[in-house]
Amino acid sequence: MPVEVILPKVDMDMSTGRISKWHVAEGQAVRQGELLFEIETDKAAMEIDSPAAGVIRDIVGEENVDIPVGRPVAWIYAEGEAYAPAVAVQSTVPASSGENSGNEGRSTLPPSGPPAISPTRGENSSGAVRATPLARRRARERGLDLSAVRGSGPRGRIVRADVEGAAITPSSPSSPVAENAPSLKLPISPLEGEMVGGPEEGAAAASSDRTLALFEPGSYELAPHDAMRRAIARRLVEAKATVPHFYLTAHCGIDALLRLRADLNATAPGRDGEPAWRLSVNDMVVKALAAALVKVPAANVSWTDEAMVRHRHVDVGIAVSVPGGLITPIVRRAEEKSLSAISNETKALAERARARALRPQEYRGGTTAVSNLGMFGVSEFAAIVNPPHATILAVGAGERRAVVDGDLIRAATMMTVTLSADHRAVDGALAAELLAAFRETIEHPLGLVA
Active site residues per annotation: 423
Which residues are CB-neighbours of 236 under 8 A, at least 6 positions away?
Answer: 384
Measured CA to CA, the distance from residue 62 to residue 81 in angstroms comes to 25
Q: Specify the DSSP class assigned to residue 121.
A: B
DSSP 8-state class, residue 9 = -
Strand boundaries in 199-307, DSSP class E: 245-253, 270-271, 274-275, 301-303
From CA 380, how far away is CA 338, in angstroms rounded?
27
CB atoms within 10 A of CB 366: 23
Enumerate the H helices of 267-412 as residue ranges: 281-295, 339-354
CB < 8 Å & 24+ apart, contacts of 430-434: 430/296, 430/298, 430/299, 431/246, 431/248, 431/299, 431/391, 432/248, 433/296, 433/299, 434/292, 434/293, 434/296, 434/299, 434/391
Between CA 298 and CA 318 the distance in angstroms is 21
For residue 138, the cross-strand partners are none
